Amino acid sequence: MSNGPPASHLCLLSDLPSRQVGDKVRFLGCVVSYSSASGVLILQHRVTTGRSPTEALVNVDLILDRLEAQLTRVGEWVNVVGYIESVTPSISGPTKGDGATSIHVQGILVWSAGSLDVQRYEASVDTLISSKFQSGGETAHSEALLRAPR
């Protein structure tokens, strides 16, 4: 039994609505906007597989002292580890009434995704999640697969 913090659940941003409030998650998103007044990064990741639009509103107040300016630039792809705070259907905001769901996340770690192939990332995460469910546990190669050179 470990006394450390719980592991994060790797998922696509579009899958965040299926998570529970309080879950620790890790996901990738593209910066749509940043409000320095509220300390909130709004991230999206539009997937092509018919999932409904989702935006993550990541509160970065706890990590402002470590948050580099480039991580708040519109168009920057970032990785996030944080805790789900709430899930809210949205009719306003950057998505302007397209039925997007807003997921409020307390960010505890944000870092640049660097250059990446988004389609390959989506496929890798889907494969990892599928193999996790089939095996009933974590896959040993998940981190190595997601860090593979592009």
Per residue in 7-26, pLDDT (tens digit) is: 999 999 989 999 999 999 99
CATH number for the domain running over 9-116: 2.40.50.140
Question: Which pLDDT does position 49 carry in this prediction?
Answer: 59
pLDDT at 39 over 60: yes
Beta carbons within 10 angstroms of residue 64's beta carbon: 10
- Token pair listed for 29: 């998103």
The pLDDT score that the predictor gives to residue 71 is 97
Strands (E), 18-100: 24-35, 40-44, 54-59, 77-89
Give the confidence band of 51 by pLDDT, cuts at 50, 70, 90. low
Mean pLDDT for the chain overall: 82
- Lowest mean pLDDT, pick from 7-21, 68-82, 95-109, 134-148: 134-148
Domain range annotation of the chain: 9-116
Given a cut of 60, is residue 142 above it in pLDDT?
no
pTM comes to 0.77
Tell me what pLDDT residue 44 has: 94
Give the C-alpha distances (Å, rounded to integers) separating 45 from 16, 50, 118, 119, 136: 11, 13, 9, 11, 27
Better-predicted residue by pLDDT, 139 or 71: 71
